[in-house]
Chains A and B, each alone.
Chain A
Amino acid sequence: MRETYGRLLPEMRLADLGGKLIVIEGTDGAGRSTQIDLLKPWLEELGHAVVDTGMTRSPLAGEGIRRAKEGNNLGRVTQALFYATDFVDRLENEIVPALRAGFIVLTDRYIYSLMARAIVRGMDPRWIRSIYSVALKPDAVFYLRLGIDQLLPRVVFSRGFDYWESGMDLYPGHDMFDSFCSYQAALLTEFDRLSAEFNFQMVDAAADARTVCAHLQQNILHLLERDSRKNFISRLYNDSTIAPQSTDAALFAVAVPAATPSTNGNGNGHHHHAAHPSR
């Protein structure tokens, strides 16, 4: 049974949330969206239905947050709560229904980024934790970690400095560069602290995108092999005439090892490779 971080929203039933909630976390410029763009079609090829979501994409508050950030008068408490509104709207109307329908939910950032940003801005960590105690515990959190030295060139030589990514609301006296360094360093420190508390799986984001993706894929396959629905899928194999080598093999690539649980050791992450040539 799925759990929250302590409190339950009204009418949120935790039973039958059969899908998987996979979080891609990391600071600005760590390559989160690149990875999600690679993972989504890959999972769909394997036959999984995927929903991807991310900050400020809620129909309720996304537009309001974007408008508020255009000005220079978005306060820190207001900012934290506006993002919480956006998050909970997506949690209730997007993430939970998708999980209930058996989807894999790939989320670009989750409560951890929101907590880190708020804490760095001086919010009481207990306050922000209490707000997000209503969030679902994800099945996995992949933290794309990038040191400040590696982060800088990515930002400088691509899109340039952004007011909010540079924490200019925090350090108004600084120039963008100094502010960016102070702010991102503070965020990294906070992320490292959250990492231990919330069991992040650390991924070295300094590697090239393909290497990072291969690493993520391996871990996601491992996660899917432990799918609670594997019993159902294994029954499907045993009761039907579908042979594992049929053209459907790719679809069930992840579940194939589960069909023969007696022969499975811990290293069954290799099995899916056998299914790939069928495409």
Chain B
Amino acid sequence: MEIGSGVRIGPFEVFAPLQPAVSMVRHYGEHHFPGRLIVVEGIDGSGKSTQLSLLHKWLESKGYGVVFSEWNSSPLVKDTTKHGKKKKLLTPATFSLIHSTDFADRTERSILPLLKAGAVVLCDRYIYTAFARDVARGMDRAWVRDLYGFAVKPAIAFYFRVPLETAINRLLDGRDGFKFYEAGMDLNLADDSVESFRLFQGRILSEYEKMIPEFGLTVVDATLPIEIQQMQVRQIVKAHLDKAKELRVQA
């Protein structure tokens, strides 16, 4: 029986999760897909979703086939995650595992097939979110990286870097406090949700910083005006997509 390809792309071993054990093993890797995967990362309040949605509109206007996939949105898994959060059933380990299950479903159901079909796939949060959050919750770094070993390596991973206080001010502008797991209240860092959020997101920020060189994240200064950030993002994306002419949808 053929199992595992032994091929490594970046930190990931690429194997063939979608192939029946009896058939030939195919190697998935960025250069085998006609499509392109672009992801945005950063803490809550970094403005990454705003930037991604502007990028989305621009790519569509240029005629690319664009598909958007959001963290924690699998139709098969998200109810379980919601149930776990509502009943506070999640430990750092099961928090990590249920999110990886959600991500696996999105990978198998949409990200992989769409990349094969030649789409530009945009992901709001990707595996780096899991690496940052799960490690901040005390999970073993290597274990979490192994867990996501089936993920497709993105063509570009933007990291929207923002100081903690800026993010907190942006978030608190619209609401009173933070949700239980969002603020890392499960870790008992502080009784107050804002204080807990601050401590928890601080840990997450330091994980992100470590991942910049580890995974070659593309850093964007998220304190700059929205328009400037978007211009930088589009320049980088354009440079990448110009090399991939086949992505253009012929009108």
Contact in complex: B143, A75 (CB < 8 Å): no
Taking a contact as CB atoms under 8 Å apart, the answer to whether B89 and A59 are in contact is yes
* Closest B residue by C-beta to A130: B146
Is A236 part of the contact surface with B, judged by Cβ < 8 Å? no
Asked if A162 is at the interface (CB within 8 A of a chain B CB), the reply is no
**Distance of B13 from chain A, by nearest CB (Å):** 6
Say yes or no: A76-B100 contact (C-beta < 8 A), given A92-B93, A127-B13, A134-B93.
no
B38 at interface (Cβ–Cβ under 8 A)? no
* Residue B71 interfacial (CB < 8 Å): no
B80–A124 CB distance below 8 A: no
CB-based nearest A residue for B187: A10
Given A122-B21, A124-B4, A127-B13, are A89 and B100 neighbors across the interface (CB < 8 Å)?
no
Interface of B is mostly: loop
Residues of B contacting A10 in the complex (Cβ-Cβ under 8 angstroms) = 91-93, 137-139
A82 pairs with B101, CB closer than 8 A? yes
Pair B13/A75 contact, Cβ less than 8 Å:
no
Q: Take A7-B140, A9-B92 as given contacts and tell me if A170 and B20 are in contact as well, using a CB distance cutoff of 8 Å.
A: yes
Task: Indicate which residue in A11, A78, A122 contacts B101 across the interface (CB closer than 8 Å).
Answer: A78
Q: A75-B108, A134-B93 are in contact. Are A81 and B101 (CB under 8 A)?
A: yes
Q: Given the known inter-chain contacts A61-B98, A64-B77, please indicate yes or no for A122 contacting B92, CB distance below 8 A.
A: no
* B interface, size bucket: 35 or more
Instruction: Confirm or deny: B168 has a beta carbon within 8 angstroms of a beta carbon on chain A.
Output: no
Is B219 interfacial (CB 8 A cutoff)?
Answer: no
A256 interfacial by beta-carbon distance below 8 Å: no
Q: Is A124 a contact of B3 with CB atoms below 8 Å? A: yes
Contacts of A60 in B (CB 8 A): 80, 83-84, 89-90, 94, 98
Closest Cβ of chain A to B218, distance in Å, is 27
- Give complex CA distance A92, B105 in Å: 24
Q: Which of A183-218 contact B (CB under 8 A)?
A: 186, 189
How far, in whole Å, are A240 and B226 apart by their CA atoms in the complex? 79
Q: How big is chain A's contact interface, by range? A: 35 or more
> Could you mark each residue 36-75 of chain A with 1 if its beta carbon is under 8 Å from any beta carbon of chain B, else 0?
0000000000000000000000011101100110010111
Is B20's CB under 8 angstroms from A77's CB? Answer: no
A115 to chain B, nearest CB (A): 12
User: Does A126 lie at the interface of the complex (its beta carbon under 8 Å from any beta carbon of B)?
Assistant: yes
A262 to B92, CA, bound (A): 48
Assembly CA distance A7 to B92 (angstroms): 14
For A61, list chain B residues within 8 Å (CB). 80, 94, 98
Could you list 10 A-B pairs, sorted by A, with CB under 8 Å?
A9-B93, A60-B98, A67-B79, A76-B108, A78-B77, A88-B93, A119-B3, A122-B17, A130-B143, A131-B143
Which residues of A pack against B, CB within 8 Å?
7-11, 59-61, 63-64, 67-68, 71, 73-78, 80-82, 84-85, 88-89, 92-93, 119-127, 130-131, 133-134, 170-171, 182, 186, 189
